[in-house]
Structure formats: structure tokens, C-alpha cells
Amino acid sequence: MRIGIGFDIHRLVEGRSLLLGGVKIPSAKGLLGHSDGDVLLHALCDALLGAVGAGDIGSYFPDSDPKWKGVSSQIFLEKATELASRKSLRVENVDAVILTEEPRLGPHRIAIQRSIAQILRVKDDRINVKAKTMEKLGPIGEGEAMAAYVVVLLEKE
């Protein structure tokens, strides 16, 4: 078995769509980023690459490269899952924490889990997503940013 951890943080700004785990969430603000800014998929990608032993998202998709401007973060996940399957590693489970003050993610939790399961081509019950507030502390607590931690366990087929 192989374990990987991923973390990411993005600024929350007006005039951007909020995408989390590939799901569009109604929100006054969205995540700033070179790509679609999906902080959860970026952390998941890094967790997968970590478990595979294949570096990090920036080494494959540098944000200095205009090629990745505005692209769907699902492309990053496709690369990470391809690297995993090349090593005959499949996803056992994923656990994630999203840190945000707003919007409240409870009503969208199941949809986000389903979306990630689809992207990774695994059953829904292998994916768990939680949301936490920062109790109004720091930049996340003040609504200036959103962050995500993801842990993934891969198993040799």
C-alpha cells in the first residue's frame, strides 16, 4: 500500500466561479487560480502524486505555462491517475478536509464526493469529504481564502 498527502490554498475573489471537486457551488466568491482554481482537486492531485512517488502538481502543470490557463483541474487528475495505474496502483480510499468560512458546504458534500469518485473511477463509498470553518480566525476565517487537505491510500492491484 502507498499513502499520500496533499495540501492547497487559493484566494477567494469576486467574479470567479467556485469549483470544488469538479462541482460548481453557488457562491458570491470563487477561487483565484491559473487553472479553474479547484483547491480540492489540486490537493487531491498532490496526494495521488505523493502516493505514487511522482513529485507534485507544479512539476507537471507549472502555473507559468499559458497552456494550463483556465483549464479544468480534472485534466491534472487524469495525469495523476494515469501515473498511478502505470504502477498498478488503485485508489483504496480518499479522505479530505476543506477549510472555508463560506459558503457552507454541508448541502454539497455528497455531490462533491460523487464527482471525485467519478473522476477517479471508484465507488462513491471510497471518498469522504469534510468541511471545517476556521472560527473566523486568520485569512480563511475572514473569507479571503479556502484551503484543502487530502489523504489518499493506494493499493497494488
Reported as type and span, the H/E element at residue 57 is helix 57-60
The three-class DSSP label of residue 93 is strand
Regarding 38 and contact with Mg ion (CB under 5 A), the answer is: no
Regarding 8 and contact with Mg ion (CB under 5 A), the answer is: yes
Q: Least distance from C-beta 40 to Mg ion, angstroms?
A: 10
6-14, 95-103, 118-126, 137-145 -> range binding Mg ion (CB under 5 A): 6-14
Of 127 and 147, which CB lies nearer to Mg ion in the complex structure?
147
Report how far residue 67's alpha carbon sits from residue 139's, in angstroms, rounded to the nearest whole number: 30
Residues 42-71: b if buried by 16+ CB within 10 A, e if exposed? bbbbbbbbbbbebeebeebbeeeeeebeee
Of 126 and 146, which CB lies nearer to Mg ion in the complex structure?
146
Q: Least distance from C-beta 110 to Mg ion, angstroms?
A: 24
7-15, 47-55, 95-103, 133-141 -> range binding Mg ion (CB under 5 A): 7-15
Regarding 42 and contact with Mg ion (CB under 5 A), the answer is: yes
- Judging by DSSP bridges, how do beta strands 89-99 and 145-156 pair with one another? antiparallel
Interface with Mg ion by CB under 5 A: which residues? 8, 42
